Structure 1
């Protein structure tokens, strides 16, 4: 299980689906087996959402297939 202290050394990268503008800045961190931490890059000290890897994969699949509207 990933804990808040595990995220202290996380390396974050901007999602390729973020437009780079001020409103769509999602960052994710890799390297957490079974989990995908997600945060808003405008608030790096703010909350982190932690998704099960399978759920995140399904979400990204829906984005790529343009099924999410």
Structure 2
């Protein structure tokens, strides 16, 4: 739960700054989609949460 809340805040901040700067490319579209999935917790959120947890678990092993 804490990881999801942190990712929502992170995606929200990144999206805010991308929109404010006027950089509306593929990166901002991906950020907006990720933010929406984490925020809404739809049926597609479970695989995205698993992917995010796998990436976060892999980071210390690098």
- Fold conserved (TM > 0.5)? no
| TM-score interval for Structure 1 and Structure 2 normalised by the shorter chain | 0.3 to 0.5
TM-score (norm 1): 0.31
TM-score (norm 2): 0.34
| Structure holding more strand per residue | 1
